[in-house]
């Protein structure tokens, strides 16, 4: 059974056009509209989702959001494609693969603009070079963590036949594989990566060294759904961006650390380390706006790892800034 977390909020009357939505998104009515959001798992990646939930930003924008933890990006893609969920967290590489495969989805907001992953090894290892002949767990065959790991291994002079990949979609599942001795190394995100290091698993490398800026993670939806519910898409984007702004406000640091600690079941110290990475270093996109250059970098990386071939598709095929642009306009106007 999938884990569900329900965010209870209110709703505004649904206008037909986005312009009308922008004028009326703050109006409340008695009957909320439900948005189902697919998240991969409980991790710092969803910190802004926790903020939008717990501080009430989605509520203030008239939405009732059901958050479902699916366990993998692939599951999010599948459920979004068939309409089982309305909005989903999808890594940029898998978004591109899905769209090229015919999935009727598109990114409506950038989520993470950096790749805050660490590569941790079993105890006794000290370098990436020692992974020759070893087993490494990444998120999936076409997962963005595969792109990251391929680059790190190649930079350390390891060839594809020098190691074996196994797959687990969520970072906590990859950590479990490392703890259980089923793999020699795992690519992990905070705060799980911090917990692993605290338990004595050595940090062999940091992905950010190889990808200092990367269009990493998106919030995606079906164009058919956003066109039918432009007010809802706008309210979702606006509430999400308000969650980002709240997280980045130093006045909220203590509350944010407590929120992550309780939400992910890690220590306050581990959550504080994650705060420095995600909030102080601005890992989340402040505007959600996407560009051809952002997507082009991902397309180039995927071409280099053989996931796609030339001629590369136009970057604009994969994103739609309509709703984040409208949300940012409202936020600038103080609405």
**What are the tens digits of pLDDT across the range 57-73?**
999 999 999 999 998 88
pLDDT higher than threshold 50 for residue 4: no
End-to-end CA distance of the chain: 39
Does the bond joining 191 to the residue before it have cis omega, within 30 degrees of 0?
Answer: yes
**pLDDT tens per residue across span 212-233:** 778 889 999 999 999 999 999 9
pLDDT higher than threshold 90 for residue 239: yes
Which stretch of DSSP H or E encloses residue 231? Answer: helix 230-248
**pLDDT tens per residue across span 142-188:** 788 998 999 999 999 999 999 999 999 888 899 999 999 999 999 99
pLDDT range class, residue 37, cuts 50, 70, 90: very high
The helices-and-strands tally (H runs, E runs) of the chain is: 14, 11
Domains delineated in the chain: 3-112+214-332 (3.40.190.10), 118-209 (3.40.190.10)
What is the average per-residue pLDDT within 3-23?
A: 39
HEC assignment per residue over 82-127: CCCCCEEEEEHHHHHHHHHCCCCCEEEEEEECCCCCEEEECCCCCC
The CB-side HSE value for 238 (13 A sphere, CA atoms) comes to 27
The predicted structure's pLDDT at residue 12: 31
Q: How many CB atoms lie within 10 A of CB 333?
A: 8
**pLDDT tens per residue across span 102-157:** 999 999 999 998 888 999 999 999 999 999 999 999 998 878 899 899 999 999 99
pTM of the complete model beyond 0.75: yes
The predicted structure's pLDDT at residue 143: 83
What 3-state DSSP class applies to 36? strand
């Amino acid at each position: 059974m999938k884990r569900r977390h329900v965010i209870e909020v209110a709703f505004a009357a649904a206008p037909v056009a986005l312009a009308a939505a922008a004028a009326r998104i703050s109006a409340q009515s008695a009957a909320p509209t439900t948005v189902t959001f697919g998240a991969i798992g409980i991790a710092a990646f969803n910190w802004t989702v926790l903020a939008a939930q717990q501080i009430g930003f989605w509520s203030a924008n008239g939405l009732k959001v059901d958050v479902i933890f699916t366990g993998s990006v692939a599951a999010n893609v599948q459920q979004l494609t068939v309409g089982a969920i309305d909005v989903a967290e999808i890594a940029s590489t898998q978004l591109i693969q899905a769209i090229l495969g015919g999935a009727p989805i598109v990114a409506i907001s950038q989520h993470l603009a950096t790749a805050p992953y660490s590569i941790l090894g079993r105890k006794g290892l000290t370098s990436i070079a020692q992974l020759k002949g070893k087993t490494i767990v990444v998120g999936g065959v076409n997962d963005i963590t595969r792109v990251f790991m391929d680059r790190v291994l190649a930079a350390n002079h390891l060839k594809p036949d020098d190691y074996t990949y196994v797959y687990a979609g969520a970072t906590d599942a990859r950590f479990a594989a490392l703890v259980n001795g089923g793999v020699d190394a795992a690519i992990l995100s905070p705060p799980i990566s911090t917990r692993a290091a605290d338990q004595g698993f050595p940090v062999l490398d940091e992905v950010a060294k190889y990808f200092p800026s990367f269009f990493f993670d998106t919030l995606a939806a079906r164009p058919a759904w956003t066109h039918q519910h432009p007010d809802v898409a706008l309210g979702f984007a606006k509430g999400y961006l308000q969650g980002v702004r709240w997280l980045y406000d130093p006045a909220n640091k203590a509350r944010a650390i407590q929120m992550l600690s309780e939400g992910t079941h890690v220590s306050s110290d581990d959550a504080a380390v994650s705060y420095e990475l995600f909030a102080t270093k601005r890992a989340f996109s402040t505007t959600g706006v996407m560009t051809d250059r952002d997507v082009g970098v991902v397309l180039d990386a995927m071409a280099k790892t053989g996931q796609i071939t030339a001629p590369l598709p136009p970057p604009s095929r994969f994103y739609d800034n309509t709703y984040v642009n409208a949300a940012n306009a409202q936020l600038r106007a103080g609405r």
